[in-house]
Amino acid sequence: MNKVKEVINNKENKINNKLDIIEQILGGNSNDINNIKSNNFNNYIILQVKISEKILNKDIKLLNQEKTNKNDYNFQKTDIETIYDNQIGNIKFKDDEYYWNFTKTGIHTIKIIFQKKLLQCNKLFYCCNNIYKIDCSNFDCSQIIDCSSMFYQCSSLININLGKLDFALSNDFSYMFYNCNNLEKLNVSYFNTNNSKSFSNMFYKCSKLKKINLSKFKTSKCENISFMFYNCSSLESIDMINWDMKNINDIDYLFKGCSKLKNIKMNFNNDKKLSFYGTFSALPESGSFVGKKETNYIEILKYLANGWDVIQE
């Protein structure tokens, strides 16, 4: 019995110590502390933000909602809690959008906790070009129906921890990582894409990504993959051999500007009269294209340079 009490006391002490730390960070605001105590920590995003001198002490958007409004994200002011570094002033609201003030330069860590599940996360970090790292591995995406433009033009991003997020209901992945041109690594191999209709511009100008594992993507409902890898100038190989491309209507500029792409695996099982406009433009003069038996090689060969080897898997 004494040992059980000792274990319980130790756990309570640890919890109280954590709450003391949070209380110090939040400046002792009892209302905030009560909110955190009752909160569910399973739905949060952690941001690391770089602040330059020129934007010091200016209002910076926390969640950029350009051309949208707070209702798109299914949360109100009372649905969000934020724990932040003590170098950052209190979060404030301005025109129903989320801002914070910075008091010092450097890298700051902000933890955003959503008390409710979001039904939509498109444009969630739209043009948030001061964000350095994002960790949303604990973010609940099980009800998300649209994740398009989620990290659109986050041009300072070098790392995104997506964990094994469940996007099973999402029907749109277009522009998701558009112009994340400093992103060096990205793990999307666990994405559930069963319902997706579009991957258009998904990795547009992700110019530092050398590899992207998309081999497990499900594409039977997909209609648009145009500009998907446009100017991914560091990309060396791509494996789309298990994709079902029967319903693709737009493949334009798919690999345009992929100047280092020398290995393509693709099951182009599509008999539609597509334009292939710019699909293989500015690729290396030689490489290997691997397809399955049902791949429409006749169409593909029209657009590949003579130095490419075409292989049936």
pLDDT(29) > 80:
no
pLDDT(48) > 50:
yes
pLDDT at 23 (0 to 100): 52
Average pLDDT for residues 89-98, to the nearest whole number?
66
Average pLDDT of the chain to the nearest whole number: 83
pLDDT(72) > 60:
no
Provide the residue ranges of all domains of the chain, joining segments of one domain with +.
Answer: 171-313
Question: Regarding predicted confidence, which is higher, 11 or 112?
Answer: 112
CB-CB neighbours of 279 under 10 Å: 20
Taking only the tens place, the pLDDT of each residue in 113-149 is 887 778 788 888 888 888 899 999 988 888 899 999 9
Percent of the chain with pLDDT over 70: 77
pLDDT at 68 (0 to 100): 46
The number of C-alpha atoms within 13 Å of 237 and in the hemisphere containing its C-beta is 9
pLDDT(34) > 70:
no
Indicate the fold that domain 171-313 takes in CATH.
3.80.10
pLDDT at 61 (0 to 100): 73
C-alpha–C-alpha distance, residues 145 and 210, integer Å: 29
- Of 123-132, 216-225, 282-291, the poorest mean pLDDT is in 123-132
Question: Regarding predicted confidence, which is higher, 246 or 35?
Answer: 246
Taking only the tens place, the pLDDT of each residue in 184-205 is 999 999 999 999 999 999 999 9
Q: What are phi and psi of 61, to 5 degrees?
A: -70, 130
Taking only the tens place, the pLDDT of each residue in 171-187 is 999 999 999 999 999 99
pLDDT at 4 (0 to 100): 54
Question: Regarding predicted confidence, which is higher, 106 or 25?
Answer: 106
